[in-house]
Amino acid sequence: MKIDAKKLIAAALKAREGSVSPYSKFKVGAALLTADGEVIGGANVESASYGLTCCAERIALFKALTEGKKKFIAVAVVARWDGGAMPCGACRQLLAEYAPDAKVFVADTADLQTIKRFTVGGLLPGAFRLVS
Ligand code: THU
């Protein structure tokens, strides 16, 4: 399937509106593209017990997985950060487990035309896995 990175970035921007980030005020949006062409969005959710905070990428992934989606071909992440905000280590682990072949698109909300492109495998080589 042809992947429209701009469209997926736009979906992540829309999902970012759902960010619940009263502590950091740092809004992040993510959008996952399934092999069936569906797009599942997510945004970061923070807790007063800071460590319980969940990133946008994982919210999107958990939503998709619990809706029965199994195959992902791309994920987009947007935040207002120069050059775009990269997925954190925890999100890389989860993506490596459940979306190992996905492309990763990253953009800054201040410059959505500039899309950085990565792969999940490239962002976490040699990922820990217990199933093949
Ligand atoms: N955050 C994400 O949503 N994704 C990342 O990959 C990095 C960080 C969120 C978590 C927290 O709500 C805020 O950004 C500041 O760390």
Is 132 within the bounds of a domain? Answer: no
The pLDDT value recorded for residue 11 is 98
Question: Does 128 reside within a domain?
Answer: no
**Which pLDDT tens digit goes with each residue over 40-77?**
999 999 999 999 999 999 999 999 999 999 999 999 99
Q: What is the pLDDT confidence band of residue 2, given thresholds at 50, 70 and 90?
A: confident
Ligand 1, atom 4, residue with closest C-alpha = 55
Q: Is 57 a catalytic residue?
A: yes
Residue 132 above 90 pLDDT? no
Residues with CB under 6 A from ligand 1: 21, 24, 26, 28, 44, 46, 53, 55-57, 85, 87-88, 91
86 within a domain of the structure (yes/no): yes
- Look at the chain and report how many structural domains it folds into: 1
88 CA: nearest ligand 1 atom: 6
> pTM here?
0.97
Domain coverage including residue 70? 5-123
Angle (CA) 75 81 82, round 5°: 105
- Choose, from 17, 38, 46, 57, the residue flagged as catalytic: 57
**CA–CA dist 120, 113 (Å, integer):** 21
Q: Is 109 helix (H, G, I), strand (E, B) or coil?
A: coil
Tokens 């319980």 found at? 52
Residue 1 predicted with pLDDT over 80 = no
In a domain, 118, yes or no: yes
Atom of ligand 1 at shortest range from CA of 56: 3
**Does 115 score more than 90 pLDDT?**
yes
Instruction: Kindly state whether residue 130 falls inside one of the protein's structural domains.
Output: no
List, for residues 76-110, the tens digit of each pLDDT value. 999 999 999 999 999 999 999 999 999 999 999 99
**Residue-wise pLDDT tens digits, 22-42:** 999 999 999 999 999 999 999
Nearest alpha carbon, ligand 1 atom 13:
26
With tokens 């469209």, the residue in question is 7
Place of tokens 């775009």: 84
